[in-house]
Amino acid sequence: MKRLLTIGLMAILMMLSCRTSIFAFDWKPFNAELLDQSENDSQKIVVLKDKQNRTFKVIYQDEAMLKKLSAPILKYKDVFYSWQSIHCKDITFMVLANLLDVVIVPQQFIHHNQNIAAAIPAGITMTYDPDLNLMRYDFRIMSGDQFVRISGNYSQEDELANKIGLAYDDPQAYLQPTVPAASEPVDSETMNEKMVQALIYLNDEDWNGRQKTIPLETIHKVVKVKEANPAMTKAELWKLVRKEKVKITKRQFELILILYFNEFK
């Protein structure tokens, strides 16, 4: 009996040591405290809190690349939290390949005495290129029943906030002349699936407020169903997805349509 207990204890200790080794990265250079950690497939997800009690997430796979991009992570974390008109609810940095992707979920964006943060349903997405030392934003906002693409090189908050406000007030002036049809995936050939998976993770919570993720295979199934039935409404597609017994929540289904097909309604 004692032998079995000893073996069991050793197994538990080995499991704990393995999990600890996964997140053995030294976060001190980030001047932040590690609040939470988890793992999704090959991605490591950590929640950090800086000296000003501001939290931010970091998603990464390779520690060497994380170290390389630690300086811009710290720089832009401070930049985005210093915004005056756009108040950040959540900032997530995703170290993917040789680039740094950022998702900023605004809590408040006052425009003409109105909070239009809800007009940015998937957040403000940016990509930092360390070779060019350039941060570029590319995301969409909703204005009425239209979606407007906002893109450009980030320089300062005022320029970005003014562009969002103008697009919200006059979407026709910002609509691209070659807007993809609702039945066609947006940038489907170049879209980073891991980033899509991370965006769904960031924007999907269960009734306990815990964020959930979704397998890439499930995302592929929904995309194929949509592409095979471009004329179907969202409600009809949802019924078809359910009929085919795809394991997915309605919120996850809606996020896939937003991220791949720009279907907000």
Which residues does 257 contact at the CB level (< 8 Å), separation at least 6? 222, 226, 234, 237, 263
Q: Which two structure tokens, joined as six digits, stand for 21?
A: 């080794």
**Model-level pTM?**
0.66
pLDDT value for 253: 87
* pLDDT tens-digit series, residues 208-241: 445 566 777 888 888 888 888 888 888 999 999 9
Q: Model confidence over 163-203: pLDDT tens digits?
A: 999 999 988 876 655 444 444 444 434 445 656 666 666 56
Q: What are the structural domain ranges in the chain?
A: 24-174, 193-261
**Pairwise pLDDT comparison (179 vs 247), residue with the higher score:** 247
